[in-house]
Amino acid sequence: MVIDNLPDSFFGTGEVKYFLFTKLAESITAYLFKVQFEESEHYEVMKRLVTPICLDFEKKIYSETHFKEYYPKSNSFGTNAWSFYTQKEALGKFYEL
């Protein structure tokens, strides 16, 4: 099984367009990111989320051996992801996961 990991740093898209996400820590089960937008910053902790790579969008065929990690959508916050004002709070949740 092959899993493409999230990059160490990336810019968001959609509702988080222009937000800069920088990976601060990772474990087998979770990630910790610093999120910056203009002059503000906060921290997000998320469970590692994996989905199969789509091989054919029209026929909805997905790989059985190649997967990718993905960042959760906003409706996953509180279940698979959490947002914190301080790095200390975020680290607490990260170590809990």
Write down the pLDDT at residue 60: 86
The confidence score (pLDDT) of residue 73 equals: 85
Which amino acid is it at 83? Answer: S
Q: How far is CA 71 from CA 12, 24, 36, 54, 64, in A?
A: 10, 15, 16, 16, 20
What pLDDT does residue 54 have?
Answer: 86
pLDDT tens across 6-57, in order? 999 999 988 889 999 999 999 999 999 999 999 999 999 999 999 888 888 8
pTM: 0.83
Sorted by where each begins, the domain ranges of the chain are 2-96
pLDDT for residue 44: 96
69-81 tens-digit pLDDT: 988 888 889 999 9
Using pLDDT thresholds of 50, 70 and 90, give the confidence band for residue 65. confident
Distance (Å, whole) CA 54 – CA 67: 9
Mean pLDDT, to the nearest integer, of 71-96? Answer: 93
Question: Residues 83, 43: contact at Cβ < 8 Å?
Answer: yes
